[in-house]
Structure 1
Amino acid sequence: MSRRCAAKKRVVKPDAIYSSVVVSALINKVMKDGKKNIARGIVYQALEMVQSKLGVEITEILERVMVNAMPSLEVKPRRVGGSTYQVPVEVREDRRKTLALRWIVGNARKRGEKNTYNRLAGELIDTYGNVGSTVKQKENLQKMAEANKAFAHYRW
């Protein structure tokens, strides 16, 4: 990792159909081995499925899903003396979005439905309803941060 200058953030372009940066980022997370067209098909099918089941605009669905999945606190290890403490820190906005999308896609892949788009749709519906493994993962992280609040003074 270079110490000379910080890496430049790449701007994610909005997708063609919904003009949404979140959909574009979701497509990039679902993509494997550079097969973006397959990832687009999976995401668009999943979004259509979610919209037909919930009967709500896709932009509203994604907004609520992201709010329900984004953590506000996380813990980072900090070495003080001979011991390592889990120090709670606030999560930056870009990292919050990244973590939320990573968890949604990761938990969708672990689900038992037959097709990937069914898995992703199921995970999006669960997260929209504030239930499911993504929300549980977020709550576990928040609980860990609350439990280690005593070490907050070690923040840097």
Structure 2
Amino acid sequence: MARKCGAVKLRSCCDPLFEAPEVGRLVNLVMVSGKKTVAARIVYTALAMLSPDRRRSYELLMQALHNIKPSAEIRTRRMGGASYRVPAEICSKRRMSLALRWLKSAAMRRRERYAHVRLYNEILDALSRRGGAVRQRDEVHRLAHANRAFSHSRRG
């Protein structure tokens, strides 16, 4: 039986310095063991290294995230006892979530010594359309393109 009303969505917390939900979510993703102050310092330092002007650094971050956002993803669908990888469109909220997650994971895989330098360099790489996060997006797009023959069987 279906619910009468949908689940209540929680509002994402805005960042106090940039007043942007994307920066707040990035801080929460970078946070380890509840150390939000340390995570905020990492993100703010990386953004300050991008540009001393807050608005400009936020614009650069959003441009980097735009370069990372995927347009399609692969969903596994079972039909007739077989599993097929079906490409599917992604809503804008999930695109942003994946982009932030990929940016953070690619930055933390880098070899630099300090976390803010890793994040800064990954954002710069994303701006120039290279780096780990963009590579991951390209891999997802390549898989979706390879499995486009099954796109007719996705759920409506």
Answer yes or no: same fold by TM over 0.5: yes
- Match of residue 135 from structure 2: 136
Residues 63-78 of structure 1 mapped to structure 2, 5 A cutoff: 63-78=62-77
Q: Would you say 1:119 and 2:123 are equivalent positions?
A: no
- Match of residue 11 from structure 2: 11
Query: Which shifted more, 137-146 or 6-15?
Result: 6-15
- Match of residue 39 from structure 2: 39
Q: Distance in 1 between matches of 2:131 and 2:94?
A: 21
- Quickly say closer, same or farther: Cα 1:34–1:6, change in 2 above 3 A: farther
User: Number of matched residues?
Assistant: 151
1:18-77 Cα distance to aligned partner (Å, 9 max, x none)? 11111111101101111111110010011111226xxx8112102211110100100100
- Match of residue 148 from structure 1: 147
Q: Distance in 2 between matches of 1:121 and 1:75?
A: 29
Indicate the SS of the match to 1:13. coil
Report if the CA contact (8 A) 1:74-1:142 is conserved: yes
Q: Distance in 1 between matches of 2:21 and 2:128?
A: 22
Q: Would you say 1:105 and 2:104 are equivalent positions?
A: yes
Gaps of 5+ in 2: none
Q: Distance in 1 between matches of 2:44 and 2:137?
A: 25
Q: CA deviation at 1:13?
A: 2.4
- Match of residue 93 from structure 2: 94
Q: Distance in 2 between matches of 1:115 and 1:7?
A: 40
Report if the CA contact (8 A) 1:47-1:121 is conserved: yes
Q: Distance in 2 between matches of 1:114 and 1:134?
A: 19
Query: Which shifted more, 13-22 or 36-45?
Result: 13-22
1:100-120 Cα distance to aligned partner (Å, 9 max, x none)? 000000011100000011111
Letter in structure 2 aligned against 1:111: R
Q: CA deviation at 1:6?
A: 4.6
Indicate the SS of the match to 2:51. helix
Q: TM-score, normalised by structure 2?
A: 0.91
Q: RMSD of the alignment, in Å? A: 1.5
Gaps of 5+ in 1: none
Letter in structure 1 aligned against 2:101: R
Report if the CA contact (8 A) 1:22-1:62 is conserved: no
Instruction: Provide the identity percentage.
Output: 38
Indicate the SS of the match to 2:16. coil
